[in-house]
Amino acid sequence: MPETFSEQRPQTWPVEAELLFLTARVRMTAEVESRIRAALREEIDWIYLIQLSMQHETTALLYWHLQRICPELVPEGILEPLAARFQSQTAEVQYRAQELVRILASLDQEGILAVGYKGPILAQALYGNVALREFSRFSDLDIVVGEQELPKAKSVILGHGYEEHGQTDREWIFRERTGGRTLELQWHFTTHLCRVPDDPGRFLRRLEMVPFAETTVRSLPLEVYFLVLCLHATKHKWRKAKLICDIAEILASPEVDWDHVVREANVLGIRRILSLGILLSEDPLGVVAPPALVRGLKIDRVARALAAQCREALLKEPDDQWRFHADIRFMLKVRERRYDEVKLFFRDWLWPETMPDEEDRRFASIPQSLSVLYYLVRPVRLFLMEMTDGRNSGARCVPASPPK
């Protein structure tokens, strides 16, 4: 058996969750296939299992492995709708892949250094099949450029039939004029609460050309993807198996420069963030990281405690805000350097949180001459919103095991 690093007995899961995690992978071994067959011989709540897979965005992988390994053990009426869903998703992601190629080619013609991020390019690189990484019709395409290139890049995207739909602290959001599909033009890989210095520059300096949709496109190498995907997943507190599956597939790849990962982790102070990816790949997915990587990251007890916290939340339904708002308490705990904690709290969280915005102006109407009072309105509004969210979130949890 390979050496493990969690220093604790692996968590036990209901059989539906076990099947979810056993199928949330591309690389299969005879041992894992045997465990899947054994689990399918138990009493399965198939509605609960499919709900879990949809929640964790791994339904494509669930279907792919069930129909390939043991379709005879799946009750009638289960695989057919999953197959239809998979075929629909395959057609959609192939369309979006071609759309991404067209836009990247136009950006390149304008001399703009742009890279497709996540989405179908990552699916092809990690999964070998763009349809295996969940990607619904209304999922967005992500393109990253340097901030100085934004005006030119925006003009190119508008010329491809998109219109402006919104903006955040790191991206412009566009929507197709027909079809409703979205595209995000980003000038940072991560949000401000988990950003590292020189993002995106330090990541864009290490690119490679990869085959994709009958052409070649720029992509992040896997060692850089390991860094940015761990940062991205930490913002979401690793709430979806899809996020863990991405990291587990990179860990299992033989073509990764782990020395680069360790150097960057030490420079950027993100060893603990990367450690979460390793620990969650090990349990629940059973993928063990290269020992040299683990030694270089010096996985500590705080990382192990945070990983345990993330595991406990995996079978709970995320609240409505999980995708958009990072948990500041969690983000402070994953920082191993005191300097980064202080900067994160005061500069990246507290200061932006005190600045009044349009929501505060809609909450209370104050004359322009007294607009300074919005600095008092804002904490009241945020407190009331937090209280409302807290009451509502209690009703959104699903049981850790299905009702019997």
**CA max distance for the chain:** 73
Residues 6+ apart with CB under 8 A from 14: 315, 400, 401, 402
* CB of 23 closer than 8 Å to CB of 61: yes
Residue 86 in any domain: the answer is yes
CA 327 to chain centre: 15
Owning domain of residue 208: 15-329
Helix axes 258-268, 222-235, angle to 10 degrees: 40
H helix intervals, 169-240? 201-204, 222-235
Residue 341 in any domain: the answer is no
Are residue 245 and residue 384 in the same domain, yes or no?
no
Residue 389 in any domain: the answer is yes
Instruction: Answer left, alpha or beta for residue 158, where phi above 0 means left and psi between -120 and 50 means alpha.
Output: alpha
Burial per residue of 264-291, b for 16 or more beta-carbon CB atoms within 10 angstroms, e otherwise: bbeebbbbbbbbbbbbbbbbbbbbbbee
How many CB atoms sit inside 10 A of residue 360's CB? 20
* 73 closest CA partner among 113, 108, 46: 46
* CB of 399 closer than 8 Å to CB of 314: no
CA distances from 299 to 119, 251, 302 (A): 30, 16, 8
Question: For residues 106 and 157, what is the distance between their CA atoms, to the nearest angstrom?
Answer: 9
Residue 349 in any domain: the answer is no
- Out of 306, 329, 352, pick the residue that ends a domain: 329
* Count of alpha carbons within 13 angstroms of residue 4, beta-carbon side: 16
* CB of 231 closer than 8 Å to CB of 270: yes
- pTM attached to this predicted model: 0.86
Are residue 260 and residue 383 in the same domain, yes or no?
no
* Count of alpha carbons within 13 angstroms of residue 234, beta-carbon side: 33
Residue 8 in any domain: the answer is no
Q: What string of pLDDT tens digits covers the 404 residues of the chain?
A: 344 444 444 568 999 999 999 999 999 999 999 999 999 999 999 999 999 999 999 999 999 999 999 999 999 999 999 999 999 999 999 999 999 999 999 999 999 999 999 999 999 999 999 999 987 655 789 999 999 999 999 999 999 999 999 888 889 999 999 888 999 999 999 888 888 999 999 999 999 999 999 999 999 999 999 999 999 999 999 999 999 999 999 999 998 999 999 999 999 999 999 999 999 999 999 999 999 999 999 999 999 999 999 999 999 887 665 565 678 899 999 999 998 888 888 877 777 777 787 888 888 888 888 887 877 788 788 777 767 655 554 443 343 444 33
Are residue 259 and residue 306 in the same domain, yes or no?
yes
Domains held by the chain: number: 2
**Tokens, residue 93:** 């992601």
Q: Helices (H), strands (E): how many in the chain?
A: 19, 7
- Out of 329, 345, 378, pick the residue that ends a domain: 329
Are residue 279 and residue 399 in the same domain, yes or no?
no
Residue 183 dihedral angles phi and psi, to the nearest 5°: -140, 135
Are residue 325 and residue 364 in the same domain, yes or no?
no
Are residue 212 and residue 285 in the same domain, yes or no?
yes
Are residue 224 and residue 282 in the same domain, yes or no?
yes
Question: For residues 332 and 345, what is the distance between their CA atoms, to the nearest angstrom?
Answer: 7
The enclosing domain of 192 has a CATH number of 3.30.460.40
* CB of 236 closer than 8 Å to CB of 322: yes
> Can the peptide bond before residue 402 be classed as cis, meaning omega within 30 degrees of 0?
no
- State the distance between the two ends of the chain, measured CA to CA, in whole angstroms: 35
Are residue 97 and residue 202 in the same domain, yes or no?
yes
3-state secondary structure of 210: strand
Q: Please give the angle made by the CA atoms of 83, 88 and 89, to the nearest 5 degrees.
A: 95
Residues 6+ apart with CB under 8 A from 260: 206, 223
Residue 352 in any domain: the answer is no
* 141 closest CA partner among 192, 191, 107, 175: 175
Question: For residues 213 and 94, what is the distance between their CA atoms, to the nearest angstrom?
Answer: 8
Polymer length of the chain: 404
Are residue 366 and residue 323 in the same domain, yes or no?
no
Are residue 260 and residue 376 in the same domain, yes or no?
no
Is residue 20 packed enough to be buried (19+ CB in 10 Å), middle (13-18) or exposed (0-12)? buried
Are residue 367 and residue 260 in the same domain, yes or no?
no
- Position 382 scores a pLDDT of 72
How many CB atoms sit inside 10 A of residue 144's CB? 26
Are residue 289 and residue 366 in the same domain, yes or no?
no
**Tokens, residue 104:** 């990247």
Residue 344 in any domain: the answer is no
Residue 173 in any domain: the answer is yes
